[in-house]
Chain A
Amino acid sequence: MLVTSSFPCENCGIKVSGAEGSECPGCGQSQTSPGRAQDSESSNGLTNYSDANSISPKTGFDSTWIDSLLNNCKPLSEGDLSESPDNLVKLTSLLKASIAQAPDAESSNRANSFLSEVYRQQERYKESFESAVPGTKSNMEYFKYQAYNSILVAITALDLHEDYEEWIDRAKNINFAGVDYHAMCYLVKNKRFDEALEACERHYTFNLDEMVYNRADILKQADRTEESERNYFKLIAKGPKSDYFSNSINSLTFSIMIPQGRYVESEKLLASAICTENEREKVNAYSNLAMVAFHLKEFSAAKRYATVGSKSKDPAIASESRLTLCNIEFQRLFESENSTDSEWESLFNQIILSLESVDFDDAGKFLQTLLKTYEKSPRQVNIAQVIDAQYARLTDHPEWSKNEQVAIEIEFMWMQVLSQSYLKESKYSSLDQLFIQALEKFKDLNFIELIAYLRTPFAGIEIRRGALQIRNVDFLTEWASFEQVPEILYGLSKSEVESVLVSLAENPAAPEEVCVLISSKVDLDLDYALSNRATLSYEMIQILSKSPFDSVRKLIAQRGDLDDSIYTQLATDSAILVRDAIKANINCSPEIKALAALGSL
C-alpha cells in the first residue's frame, strides 16, 4: 500500500493520504490539475453519472439510452457500496445485459466505462480492464477518464508490465490528471523508487504537504528511513493545525521509530498527536501508544490505551488494539509467578472471541498468540480442532484470496498444528495428504514437522520425492544429514548449496555415486567432510588423496584403512603436512615412513 495513515478515496477506492476530505488524486479530481476526470462531489464514483447526463450539442449524440440505463443503475449505486456488495453484483448483471443491446458505439463505450468502474470496486481487475478498453474510446471526458482510471488501477493490481508504458503514454496524451498518481503506485509496487519519487513530485505539484507526505512514504518503503523521517518531521513541525500532523506522527512512529526501538521518542510524539480532530488518527495514536507502552513493559498504561483503540469504529484499528490487549495480558501472565490456569484459560477464550471479529491483517498474529497461550494453559482443548475451525472460517474470509502474505502465514500455522497432532496420533495417511498439500505451497519455508515425519520410516517415497521441491536451505541441510534412501540422497546432491552438500557428505548413508558427485565440486569444506567419513571406497580414497587441498590430503594420510600404494603416494606428497601425517601414522610401514622422511629432507 502506497500511503499509510490514510483513508480510501470514496470515489475510486485508492488510498489517499492526509486528512479526511482531501481530494483524491487517483481519479484526477484535483481542482488545480488540468484534465479533471470528474466534477462530482457525490460519495462514490458510480453516482457521478448525473453530471454526464446531457445531449451533446457538438456531436449530436443522443444520450437517451445511456441516461435511462444509468438512471436505472442509480438506486443500486448509492451509498457505501463496500457495505452492499450485492448491489455491485446486481449492477454488473444489469450493465452486462444492457451493453449487448446498446443502440450505438458511444452508448456502449459509456456503459462499458461504467461497468469497468463497477468491476474495479469489486476488485475484479481483469474484467475491469477488459470493459475499460472500449470505455476509453468514449467521446465524453467523464467516461474516458473513468475508463483510464480502471485500466491503470488494473495494470498495477495485476502486474501487467507489458501494458504499463503503452497505457501511461496514452493517458498522458489525453491529459488524464491521475496519470502520475497511477505511475507512482505502479513504480512503488515494483520497487522503482527513484522514478516513483519523480512521479510523486509531478503529481502533487499543487499540494506541497501531500507531496512531502507521499515522498516520506515512498522513501520509507525504499528503506531510506532517515530521509523519510526528515520528510515526516517537516509536516510535524507545522503543528496540530496541519492536516498531516497526526498522520505523519502515526506513520513515522509506527513504521520507523517503533521498529527501531525508539520508544520514548515515539511516546513523546504520539502523546502530542492525540489532540487531532481526526477521530481515526486520534484512535490510531492511542493504538500506537499502547504498543509503545507494551514494549516499555508498562502494561497498565498499554491496557488503558489499547482499550481506547479497541472501541474504534475503524475495524482495523479496533482489531489491532484487541490484539495488543491480548498480548499485554499474555505478557502479564507470563511474567507473573502467580498466574493461574483459569487466567490462562480466560485469555485463550478472549483470543478466540477476538478472532470472530478480527481484521484479516491481524489474523495470523492472533493465531500466534493463541498458540503461545495454549502452550501455557491447562490444555483441556484439542488445539488442532480449534485451529482447524479457525482456519476453515478464515479461508472463507473475502481477504483470503487478496492478502496472500497473511493467508500463507495462517495456512502454514494450520499445517504445523495439524501435522503435530497427526504425528502424535500416528495418523500417517492424514499426514501424507496434508504434506502433499503443503508441498504445493510452502517451498520456501522450514517445515519442522515435515522433517520430524521424514525421520520416521513411515514417510513414503512419494512424500520424500515431493519434499525435494523445497528450497529452504535450513530444511534441506537438516534433511540431508539423516536421509537414508539412495534415490533421495542423489536428489539432494543436486543442490548447489554448500551446507546441504556438507550435510550429505557427513551422512554415512550417502552412497558412492553421491560422494563422487560431491567431490567433483572441488570445494575444501566438501572434500574435508568426505575425508572424515568413517568408511571410504577405494575410488573415493583415490580421488581424495589427489584433492587440491593440503588439509584434505593430510586427513587421508592420517587414516588407517588405506592401501600401501596410497600411503606411498602420499609419502611423496608435495605438502610437508601430508608427509608428516604419514610419518606419524602407525599404520604405515617403516619403509613408507622413511620415504616420507626422505621427502621432508
Chain B
Amino acid sequence: MTKQEKQLRQDLLSADFETRITAAVSLTENILFERNEFEESELILLDVLGFQSSKSGNIIELMLGQLYIKMSELPRAKRFLLIAQSSRDEVVMQKAKELLEFTSNSSR
C-alpha cells in the first residue's frame, strides 16, 4: 500500500464529510479502479453517498455509474448516471450525460 493510499484510507474515517467524499472519489478512481477492485470500490462509494450535500454535486453517483459500466451492470449504471445528470455541478452533469449516451449505445 502506497503512502497516498494509506492517507486516503485514513481520510475515509475523517469527521468531515467532504474530506471523506474526496478521499472516496480519489481512492476509487485513481487506485482501486486501476486494480480492478470493483467490489471494494462499490462499498467505499456507497459508504459516503449519503454524506453528499448539494455542494458535492452527485459525484458519488457519477462514480458508481462508471463503476457499474466497468462491472457490465448497465441498467444499474444508467440509474445512477441519471441521478448524476441532474447535478448542479456542470462537470459532473456533462460527464454523466456522456456516459449515459455510451450506455445507451452499448445496450443497443
Contact = CB atoms under 8 A, between A and B. Distances in A.
Interface stretch (B2-10, B71-79, B89-97, B99-107): B71-79
A274 interface: yes
A416 interface: no
A272 B75 CA distance: 19
A268 to B, nearest CB: 7
A298 B42 CA distance: 15
B18 to A, nearest CB: 13
Q: Is the interface of A mostly helix, strand, loop or mixed?
A: helix
A273 B47 CA distance: 9
Contacts of A308: 43
B59 to A, nearest CB: 14
Q: Is the interface of B mostly helix, strand, loop or mixed?
A: helix
Contacts of A271: 46, 49-50, 64
Contacts of B42: 304
Interface string A265-277: 0011001111110
Contacts of B76: 298, 301
Contacts of B46: 271, 274-275
Contacts of A264: 79
Contacts of A246: 50
A240 B75 contact: no
Contacts of B50: 240, 245-246, 271-276
Contact of A240 (B39, B51, B71, B79): B51
B83 interface: yes
Q: Which of under 10, 10 to 19, 20 to 34, or 35 or more describes the interface residues of A?
A: 10 to 19
B48 interface: yes
A300 B71 CA distance: 10
A301 to B, nearest CB: 6
A386 interface: no
A1 B1 CA distance: 48
Interface string A216-255: 0000000000000000000000001000011000000000
Nearest to B72: A300
B42, B43, B50, B64, most chain A CB atoms within 10 A = B50
B73 A301 contact: yes
B83 A274 contact: no
Nearest to B42: A304
A245 B51 CA distance: 12
A55 interface: no
Nearest to A293: B76
Given A274-B46, A274-B49, A268 B83 contact: yes
Interface in A320-368: none
A274 B43 CA distance: 9
A296 B49 CA distance: 21
Given A298-B73, A300-B73, A304-B42, A275 B51 contact: yes
Interface string B42-62: 110011111100000000000
Nearest to A269: B50
A267 to B, nearest CB: 7
Nearest to A308: B43
Contacts of A272: 49-50
A88 B51 CA distance: 44
Contacts of A267: 79
Interface in A461-480: none
A275 B49 contact: yes
A274 B79 contact: no
A287 to B, nearest CB: 13
Nearest to B82: A264
B42, B46, B51, B64, most chain A CB atoms within 10 A = B46
Contacts of B71: 300
A264 B48 CA distance: 19
B81 to A, nearest CB: 13
Given A271-B50, A300-B71, 10 more contacts: A240-B50, A246-B50, A273-B50, A275-B47, A296-B75, A298-B73, A298-B75, A298-B76, A301-B73, A301-B76
24 contacts: A240-B50, A240-B51, A245-B50, A268-B83, A271-B46, A271-B49, A271-B50, A271-B64, A273-B50, A274-B46, A274-B47, A274-B49, A274-B50, A275-B46, A275-B47, A275-B50, A275-B51, A296-B75, A298-B75, A300-B71, A300-B73, A301-B76, A304-B42, A308-B43
Interface of A: 240, 245-246, 264, 267-268, 271-276, 296, 298, 300-301, 304, 308
